């Protein structure tokens, strides 16, 4: 029977596919084991190295629940793409070298690491791309949980790139490893300073600064993971043009944590004074009961000026405040985190005097309202820094470079201690509930990065570092000089007005 040409084509295609399937089956049978002659079982194993492009590694909670152990389906390494030019990391990466300089010549001994255990919340060990933790004391809220979660995401993002290491981490705010501890060959502490990781440091200490937990979320106050919140802040900036915003300095937070914040509350508008500040106390208990409706950070870009002030130490709020296009007024800080040392006064922010806050804030706002375009330019430079140089891509790259440089200083081979347990994303996220689970899933790294890490810039040489510090100091002194002249003129004007009124009164 003669078939239509279209039917012939279909039949031919079917026969071709069947033939191909038979050939493929014979080929498979030659490479896999069989239980019977009729049924072939193909065992698929994940290779040690896999292509990284568009690869996603889903959480396997079923395997975790079935075996009680972390799944073994993570790649240990990824194929490198063709080598090409890499982007250079932001300037603040150079401070990695400074933070590790105390051990540059002596290295880091096991004895020194054990010394850091005294105040640590946990010991982190990474061996062959797997993370293990030995806990010593619970941190405040979920700081330790989301710090460890962030490190696990680093391992997912860069499998095979995080070296073996062993470190101690302290989740408390205040740095504790003093520079004056007598460390070194000629001091009483010959082991070198304890290499202790934490979220902030200051000029008197040697603590190693690491990105804080809030980049992956802070469930106790409904603070979302940084990657999504960063986008919301960028959108929030467009809701009200800078010129249309309230011409005052805004701050909202918990004043009870520090005396300097209680002092800031005195700068609020009153019957006697208007210091151009609008400051509000944040009641987190009440806010949680009302569903956090008044603490949406993306809806707080409504003022031309925003105030940053430290709490008991440094505060995670700085990145949110500086993302608003508002001119950030920074009350003289005593602490720094991993990125803030690259902020430049009068370029990224306006410095405020610590011991005369109210007058300093009033001058800053008056100056900004008299120099609107310059004030707007400074605010934009800060938000561009936060949006462009503090992306999660760079946060992970900073973690990678810091841990890599740290591991090079170890004089011993990291080993998993008996009391440590293996950590993986499944063991943390699958058993989490509420906002903890929500934030973990939102900040989960889906798979290996398609881009190579940025290239870390070289360390500062002494003259370059001195020049940076001198530039910042001179900029702050210049603002203080402008401020002094402003208040001298105000006082002179007041005296002249007083003399004028007295003369008129006497003449009457």
What are the residues whose beta carbons fall under 8 Å from the beta carbon of 267, sequence distance 6 or more?
275, 277, 279, 357, 358, 361
What is residue 420's predicted lDDT score, i.e. its pLDDT? 95
What is residue 494's predicted lDDT score, i.e. its pLDDT? 63
What is residue 5's predicted lDDT score, i.e. its pLDDT? 45
What is residue 292's predicted lDDT score, i.e. its pLDDT? 72
The DSSP string of 395-442 is HHHHHHHHHHHHHHHB-S-----TT-EEE-HHHHHTT--HHHHHHHHH
What is residue 25's predicted lDDT score, i.e. its pLDDT? 36
The DSSP string of 105-172 is TT-B-HHHHHHGGGT-SEEEEEETTEEEEEE-SPPSTTHHHHHHHHHHHHHHHSTTTSPPEEEEE--S
What is residue 283's predicted lDDT score, i.e. its pLDDT? 79
Coil vs helix vs strand at 329: strand
Please report, for residues 124, 164, 165, the alpha-carbon distance to residue 127 in angstroms, rounded to integers and kept in the order given. Answer: 10, 5, 7
Residues of the chain with pLDDT under 50: 1-48, 184-186, 499-508
How many Cβ atoms sit within 10 Å of the Cβ of residue 65? 11
Handedness of CA 404, 406, 410, 414 (dihedral sign): negative
């Amino acid at each position: 029977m003669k078939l239509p040409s279209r039917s012939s084509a279909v039949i031919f295609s079917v026969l071709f596919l069947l033939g191909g399937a038979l050939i493929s089956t014979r080929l498979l049978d030659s490479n896999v084991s069989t239980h019977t002659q009729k049924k072939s079982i193909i065992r698929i194993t994940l290779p040690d190295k896999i292509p990284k492009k568009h690869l996603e590694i889903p959480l396997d909670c079923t395997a975790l629940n079935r075996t009680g152990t972390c799944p073994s389906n993570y790649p240990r390494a990824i194929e490198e793409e063709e080598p090409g030019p890499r982007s250079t990391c932001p300037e603040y990466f150079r401070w990695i070298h400074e933070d590790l300089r105390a051990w540059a010549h002596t290295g880091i001994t096991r004895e020194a690491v054990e010394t850091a255990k005294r105040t640590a919340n946990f010991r982190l060990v990474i061996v062959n791309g797997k993370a293990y933790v030995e806990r010593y004391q619970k941190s405040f809220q979920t700081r330790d949980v989301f710090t460890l979660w962030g490190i696990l995401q680093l391992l997912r993002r860069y499998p095979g790139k995080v070296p073996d290491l062993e470190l101690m981490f302290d989740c408390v705010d205040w740095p504790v490893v003093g520079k004056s501890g007598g460390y070194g060959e000629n001091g009483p502490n010959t082991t070198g300073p304890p290499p202790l990781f934490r979220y902030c440091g200051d000029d008197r200490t040697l603590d190693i600064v690491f990105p804080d937990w809030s980049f992956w979320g802070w469930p106790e106050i409904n603070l979302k993971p940084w990657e999504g919140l960063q986008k919301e802040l960028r959108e929030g900036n467009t809701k009200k043009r800078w010129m249309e915003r309230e011409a005052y300095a805004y701050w909202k937070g918990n004043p009870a944590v520090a005396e300097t914040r209680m002092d800031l509350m005195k700068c609020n508008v009153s019957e006697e004074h208007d210091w151009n500040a609008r400051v509000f106390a944040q009641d987190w208990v009440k806010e949680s009961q009302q569903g956090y409706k008044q603490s949406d950070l993306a809806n707080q870009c409504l003022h031309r000026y925003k105030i940053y002030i430290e709490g008991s130490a440094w505060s995670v709020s700085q990145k949110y405040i500086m993302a608003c296009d508002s001119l950030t007024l920074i009350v003289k800080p005593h602490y720094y985190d991993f990125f803030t040392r690259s902020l430049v006064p009068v370029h990224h922010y306006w410095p405020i005097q610590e011991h005369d806050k109210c007058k300093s804030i009033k001058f800053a706002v008056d100056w900004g309202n008299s120099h609107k375009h310059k004030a707007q330019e400074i605010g934009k430079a800060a938000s561009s820094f936060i949006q462009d140089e503090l992306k999660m891509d760079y946060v992970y790259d900073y973690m990678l470079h810091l841990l890599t440089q740290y591991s090079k200083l170890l004089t011993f081979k990291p080993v998993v201690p008996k009391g440590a347990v293996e950590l993986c994303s499944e063991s943390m996220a699958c058993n989490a509930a509420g906002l903890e689970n929500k934030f973990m899933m939102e900040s989960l790294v889906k798979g290996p990065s398609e881009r190579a890490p940025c290239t870390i810039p070289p360390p500062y040489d002494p003259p370059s570092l001195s020049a940076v510090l001198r530039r910042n100091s001179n900029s702050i002194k210049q603002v203080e000089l402008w401020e002094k002249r402003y208040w001298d003129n105000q006082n002179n004007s007041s005296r002249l007005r007083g003399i004028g009124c007295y003369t008129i009164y006497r003449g009457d």
